[in-house]
Chains A and B, each alone.
Chain A
Amino acid sequence: MRRGLLLLGAALIVSGAYAKDLRSAVESPDATPILEKDRLPPPKEYTMPKECITDDPLAIARGKYIFHNLNGKKAKTPPPKGLPRFIVVNGKKVPKQYGNCVACHNIEGAVGPGNIGPDLHNYKKHFIDSGARSYQFVYQKIADARIDNPKTHMTINLTTGLFTPREICEITSYVVSQKKEK
């Protein structure tokens, strides 16, 4: 009699616990903390720093290198002086990320460019000298393109902390510079 009751109790527990039990066998970690940390901050407006646009060949070379390369590990040629291949994040040595702008934009000397963004050939002549774009506009576009275009497919480069304002200046200087090859 007592044994019968016990068995009945056990059966009830088993049926109730079954779903919970099956569930415990299934991996289902919560990604919320990862996503929270990874979220893109709201769009931010920037004022170009003083003496941002330069014709210093080394600064332009760094901007160019950032434009054409993905990161310090993948890059085939050594970076110009002042631009590291690796940086230390939380005590760990990791490849420095570059802009990989060429993935979306064609420009003078591009190898395997994409066509998601506009072609930036002759940018100085067509966009700057013509008065269509200011340096400030280009700086803001590269820093955080959402200000000009909330739905942009372009990468966000300053608000995410990927680059420093000085690096954005160097990339901008490269884009607006006079380039030799067609």
Chain B
Amino acid sequence: MKKWLSLTLVGLLLGSMAVAEEKLSMTEADRALYQEMLENNPADIFVEEGAEHLEELGGEEALAKFLGVSEEELPRYIAGFPRYIDKIGMVVAIDQMLQAFTYDQGKKPYPLKSAEMDGFAAYVKSLANGEKINIDVNANEHMKQAYKLGKEMFEMRRGKRGLSCYSCHSPDVVGLRLRMQILPDLGDPKVKAAATWPAYRMTKGKMFTLQKRFQQCMKNALLAKIPLGSPQMVALEVYVTDMAKGQEIHIPGLKR
């Protein structure tokens, strides 16, 4: 109840912030709000719902069993997604793995698009909080292929402006300004991109997964949005996650 009240307040604040945000990437007031939200991330409530959902499906014990690891190994294992999972037969991100797991438990999986899935995936990834990203892009042929495709996707110029991810996130432009936004270096330990998504975006007032964040960049830069869970999207996640290898996971993140 109290939480909902503070959420509403946050919503109001964000509403007025959105106007200022057009001009400046972050004003002093936004920064203060950001500090406050770091202590009390509005996304926590959705992550808690994810926790309840996992309980309904048998909890960490059932998940570990499904993945063929012990409960102690589970956090480290989760810190290695996207991975190739033999019994699914493809390279999957956490949300897709959870679709297979849910199905295996005899329940109907959440769609990748749904907010429920974002909370569920965020909770499961948060089990690895404090662990370092340990994705292994050389683990097998499937991962090698996915990494290669991901690099290709990252560098593919397309859309009405002929841009690629690389146009804005290559070493020679990161740190420069696009309008009032600093172009982030996705491998920078301060940005911790792959280690902090799903994250709450203050400017949008919602939590998003990494793939949904990719879609936002695509939309802004006029690249056709490719669907969540597509092999190309998962490959892009593999590639971007590898940039943040060794960085400590902290879910849910908080972003501008």
Chain B neighbourhood of A30, CB < 8 A: 230-232
Docked CA distance A20–B102 (Å): 15
Docked CA distance A127–B197 (Å): 45
Docked CA distance A115–B182 (Å): 10
Chain B neighbourhood of A160, CB < 8 A: 159-162
Within the complex, which residue of B23, B90, B160 is in contact with A112, where a contact is CB–CB below 8 Å? B23
A27→B112 contact, CB < 8 A: yes
B192 to chain A, nearest CB (A): 23
B: number of interface residues (CB 8 Å): 49
Contact indicator per residue, chain A 151-171, by CB within 8 Å of chain B (1) or not (0): 001011101111000000000
Answer whether A31 and B102 are a contact pair too, CB < 8 Å, given A23-B90, A40-B158: no
Docked CA distance A114–B174 (Å): 12
B145 to chain A, nearest CB (A): 14
Chain B neighbourhood of A116, CB < 8 A: 168, 173, 176-178, 183
A114→B176 contact, CB < 8 A: yes
- Interface residues of A: mostly helix, strand, loop or mixed? loop
Which segment of A46-54, A97-105, A130-138 sits at the interface? A97-105
Docked CA distance A93–B239 (Å): 36
Chain A neighbourhood of B96, CB < 8 A: 26-28
Give the interface residue-count category, chain A. 35 or more
Within the complex, which residue of B99, B163, B178 is in contact with A25, where a contact is CB–CB below 8 Å? B99
B159→A22 contact, CB < 8 A: no
B120 to chain A, nearest CB (A): 14
Answer whether A26 and B163 are a contact pair too, CB < 8 Å, given A19-B87, A40-B158, A153-B173: no
B32 contacts A by Cβ under 8 Å:
no
B15 contacts A by Cβ under 8 Å:
no
Per CB-CB distance, the 3 closest pairs between chain A and chain B, nearest first, are A156-B162, A25-B103, A31-B226
Enumerate 10 A-B pairs (CB-CB under 8 Å) in ascending A order.
A19-B86, A23-B100, A25-B100, A26-B90, A29-B229, A30-B230, A35-B224, A97-B222, A114-B176, A160-B160
Beyond the given A28-B234, A97-B160, could you list 12 further A-B residue pairs with CB under 8 A, ordered by the A residue number?
A23-B88, A25-B100, A26-B229, A27-B96, A27-B229, A29-B229, A30-B231, A31-B231, A35-B232, A38-B224, A113-B177, A162-B161
